[in-house]
Amino acid sequence: MSAFSELESFLFHQGTNYSVYKKMGAHIVSQDGVRGTRFVVWAPNAQDVSVVCVSADEEKEHHMERSYDGIWERFVPHVKSGDTYRYAVTGADGVKRYKSDPYSFRYELRPDNASVVCSLSGYRWNDSEYQSHRHHSEVMKNPMSVYEVHLGSWKKGYRGEDDADGFLNYRELGDQLAEYVTYMGYTHVELMGICEYPFDPSWGYQVTGYFAPTSRYGTPNDFRYLVDRLHQSGIGVILDWVPAHFPKDEFALGRFDGTPLYESADPLRAEFPIWGTYAFDHSKPEVRSFLISSAFYWIEEFHIDALRVDAVAAMQYADFSRTEWRPNIHGGHINLESTDFLKQLNRELTERTTGYLLAEDSSIEQGITNDVHVGGLGFTFKWNMGWMFDTLKYLSYDFLERRYHHGELTHIPDYAFTENFILVLSHDEVNIGKGSILARMPGSFGDRFGGVKALYAFQFTFPGKKLLFMGQDFAQDADWDFGKSLDWHLADEFSHRDVLLTVRRLNFIYRSTPTLYTDSKDSKTFEWVNKNYADANIISYIRKNPFNYDGAVLVVCNFSPWHHHDFASGVPMGGEYTRLFSTYDNLPGAGGPEEIGGSPKLYAENVWCDGRPFRLRYGLRPFEVIIVKLP
């Protein structure tokens, strides 16, 4: 009896079977009263397929039967959870290749690459309270401060000479991450490199296992514990996911049945030279079923809140990283098939699940976060690469030079509301060779730390959700190295600890101030006070709700080492103003929480300033950013 019903098979070949993982792969079942494992694989052009099972150190090859639609099946008695297997695929070209299972739920620890029989059952979730409030429709109106993490280098835990990697288990990571993230006030964790991958330096972006959490840190149920533990602490979990490309490793998806099955057969679309990888052929319905069911799998089976889709621009543009490329049927460079896939992915996932998608996209295309029904791609959020680039470029200049580049900072609001953005300072900005955030800052030792705090205060008060990569919240001074632990000892040193506590305060102020997070695509939530202090490296703005100044805050950013003893900003109303935050709050003797010009309270004078009828006067210290609550 076939594992697939006629309808399930039809949907798979139509590209709309979003639970195909429940039938493909290895599933422990009983047949005729005998317990064993049913193996199912799609290889339509193969001459022959067998499953090679290793159980109790005994290896046996079992011939599989082919159905009319290119799906091969075999029930093997007594094969159980923990046993390993491969498919021996004799391709259309007559070559016999040993392949891991594209739908495997678990793989051996690299460098081994066999698939491992693994049941989806056996874990008892404890996140029902979190799940009851989880829905993608809620994320837009709530604060989102994301802590991006590479699990293999967040912390190490060497356990002897034989433990070269020093990886912590998912369960250890879940406990420790929940404690740290809760203390720091982040709302979400974004996990890099969880889908199984063979090559450590790819950081998990060259995936060979689209249905398996990497074995580097434990079992699938160990990973479930990590997600469960974070959810019990009220922390959302975002997973990096790569539907654009996959590596050429012989054991994996490439030329799976002796033909370009998952990759494009068109030589001008088959690869991404920039990464040395194959490109998925999104025009094939079976590839769409494979990828979209992978997205459903992580949300439904592992309770993942959202997927961050990597390299969206690579899928949108047929000429991405290619000197020779195939135009679309209209002669343009948009990859129509991949764009249609992204629309289908977003539409089906948001309509059928509680999850949502984030786009890591460097393109100039508009409408990435517009609804599919009005012509957009349907992503819930897009990484704001422009904000990152423009801000870091401005801050890299010497203080006296910045006056000539002030416009690079002040033009950011011109595009800040074109999409639902996340302001990102991610791993891409601090990996080896690029320098840490701290290292990018000019000036003296104190200037650099002051610049980092000012940057983060600007990030947390500017429109858009937030993302900060691990280690940067305590100003790690070295580049990020995926093979090493973060330099956690720095967090105990005064200047680094000051940055950490500043980020912590910013998280809690951001989360408790609705005008700082209810801003998507509404330019009325941002109002310049003065953007013309180029010589002083100062900008000031008001964050407000779209209709009035209820709950509004004034933000003043001094990106220079100069002290302004009697600074002023124009404000819209008189009365008593309250300073909520300063980047100096954690420095003893430098004007702590109780001090701003001698008092946390400020009073607006009935004097015109910055084109407004009232003036607020205060002292502004080097690299100080302040947040002041309006009456």
Residue 615 to residues 254, 316, 378, 568, Cα–Cα distance (Å): 66, 49, 44, 6
Residue 480 to residues 203, 226, 454, Cα–Cα distance (Å): 12, 23, 21
Contact of 89 with 49, CB cutoff 8 Å: yes
Give the C-alpha separation, 393 to 410, whole Å: 13
Specify whether 360 is catalytic. yes
Amino acid letter, 302: F
Strand, helix or coil for residue 508? helix
Token duo for residue 225: 């514990």
The pair phi, psi for residue 114, each rounded to 5°, is: -70, 155
Residue 405: CB atoms within 10 A of its CB come to 16
Give the C-alpha separation, 359 to 376, whole Å: 13
The pair phi, psi for residue 84, each rounded to 5°, is: -105, 160
Which residue matches tokens 């979400």? 188
Give the C-alpha separation, 143 to 191, whole Å: 19
Indicate which residue of 257, 360, 419, 624 is catalytic: 360
Specify whether 310 is catalytic. yes
Contact of 223 with 213, CB cutoff 8 Å: yes
Give the C-alpha separation, 165 to 485, whole Å: 10
Compute CA 229 distance to the chain's CA centroid, rounded to the nearest angstrom.
19
Contact of 229 with 174, CB cutoff 8 Å: yes
Contact of 359 with 383, CB cutoff 8 Å: yes
What is the DSSP secondary-structure string of 382-450?
Answer: EEEHHHHHHHHHHHHS-TTTGGGGHHHHHTGGGTTTSS-EEEEE-GGGTBTTT--HHHH--SSHHHHHH
Indicate which residue of 190, 196, 222, 310 is catalytic: 310
Strand, helix or coil for residue 158? coil
CA angle 225–227–229, rounded 5-degree value: 65
Contact of 457 with 513, CB cutoff 8 Å: no
H or E stretch covering 386: helix 385-396
Give the C-alpha separation, 45 to 515, whole Å: 57
Token duo for residue 226: 């990590």
Give the C-alpha separation, 36 to 30, whole Å: 6
Amino acid letter, 361: D
421-425 vs 465-469, strand pairing mode:
parallel
* Residue 248 CB burial class (10 angstroms; 0-12, 13-18, ≥19): middle
Q: Which of 556, 562, 560 is nearest to 609 (CA)?
A: 556
Which segments within 345-419 are labelled E, that is strand?
A: 356-359, 381-384
Number of H helices, E strands in the chain: 14, 30
Active site residues: 310, 360
